[in-house]
Amino acid sequence: MSFTKFLDTISRFVPAPPSGVQDAIARLDPHKIYLENVRSMLGVSSRQARTICESAVRQGVFERKVEIVCPDGSVAVSTDAESELPKTVRCWREEDGAFELTEMDTNALRKTVFYTLK
């Protein structure tokens, strides 16, 4: 599926999208579309970006996913739903200049919602 349906969804919420939106959409990674990407691309609020993305989910254009981010910024795990997240994940952690793999509680780490193009 192309971004055409996503453009249709956008046009319902942003009647006159900024110029260059189609080029910006074409540069998005269809496997990881973040709210911030949509927000900045369209020049809308975070709330409006979420509304647009959730509408795309309801219309079958996007799938919502969630990921757990380790303290170093790397993604520990991605799942289709928050309920599928493991209780713990392994993250690299620096201690005294040495890196070691540490088991960390998922609830203590940042969760990020992202979308994929169906």
Residue 18 is given by DSSP the state P
Q: Are residues 42 and 80 in the same domain?
A: no
Task: Name the domain count of the chain.
Answer: 2
Whole-model pTM: value is 0.80
Q: Are residues 9 and 54 in the same domain?
A: yes
Q: Are residues 56 and 26 in the same domain?
A: yes
The residue length of the chain stands at 118
Question: How many alpha carbons lie under 13 Å from residue 65 in its C-beta half-sphere?
Answer: 18
Q: Are residues 51 and 8 in the same domain?
A: yes
* Residues 9-42: tens digit of each pLDDT: 676 766 666 667 777 777 788 899 999 998 988 8
- Residue 55 is assigned to a structural domain of this protein: yes
Q: Are residues 92 and 103 in the same domain?
A: yes
- Residue 9 is assigned to a structural domain of this protein: yes
Q: Give the 3-state secondary structure of residue 21.
A: helix
- Residue 92 is assigned to a structural domain of this protein: yes
Q: Quote the domain boundaries for residue 41.
A: 4-63
